[in-house]
Amino acid sequence: MIDKSKARRSTRQRRLIVDAVKHSLNHPSASDIYATLADSGIGIATIYRQLSALVEDGEIGSVKYQGEVRYDPIIQPHAHIVCSKCDKIWDVELPKEIKNLAPTNGSFEKLDVDLTWKGVCSDCR
């Protein structure tokens, strides 16, 4: 038998976590999400579990930056720009022509591009 109240609670938590990722501008880490949702009483273990499930289900994306996983509201291919002082990450649209730059000499399949610009943001200058 399915515990309905538990399922409902987990749907509500999942929704809150998705919203926190989508409303954050700078690719939050799991601990950022935990801090944002501190009032909701959701535990850090639940946040980690829900975030991995959301990435697995393709609802949100993830980027690894300096050994830490950061969560991404955009799942389509795009580039990033990182501030080397505050580590905030912004999204940058990739030009469609980027596909033309893909190497054609190898025997690779499922080619993907992972492009990160680095700089210093206006808050840190």
| Helix (H) or strand (E) run with residue 24 in it | none
Stretch that binds Zn ion, among 9-17, 33-41, 81-89, 96-104 (CB under 5 A): 81-89
Q: How many residues bind Zn ion (CB under 5 A)?
A: 9
Q: Should residue 92 be labelled a site residue for Zn ion when binding is judged by CB under 5 A?
A: no
Q: Should residue 69 be labelled a site residue for Zn ion when binding is judged by CB under 5 A?
A: no
The smaller minimum CB distance to Zn ion, of residues 11 and 116, is found at 116
Q: Select the residue interacting with Zn ion from 25, 44, 86, 115 (CB under 5 A).
A: 86
Q: How far is the CB of 22 from Zn ion (least distance, A)?
A: 12
Question: x/- string (CB under 5 A) for Zn ion, residues 105-124?
Answer: ----------------x-xx
Q: Tell me the C-alpha distance between 32 and 121, whole Å.
A: 19
Contacts of 33 (CB under 8 A, 6+ apart): 17, 20, 21, 24, 47, 51, 71
Smallest CA-to-CA distance from 50 within 96, 92, 15 is with 15
First to last CA, the chain: 58
Q: Tell me the C-alpha distance between 60 and 71, whole Å.
A: 7
Q: Should residue 85 be labelled a site residue for Zn ion when binding is judged by CB under 5 A?
A: yes
- The site for Zn ion (CB under 5 A) is made up of 72, 74, 83, 85-86, 91, 121, 123-124
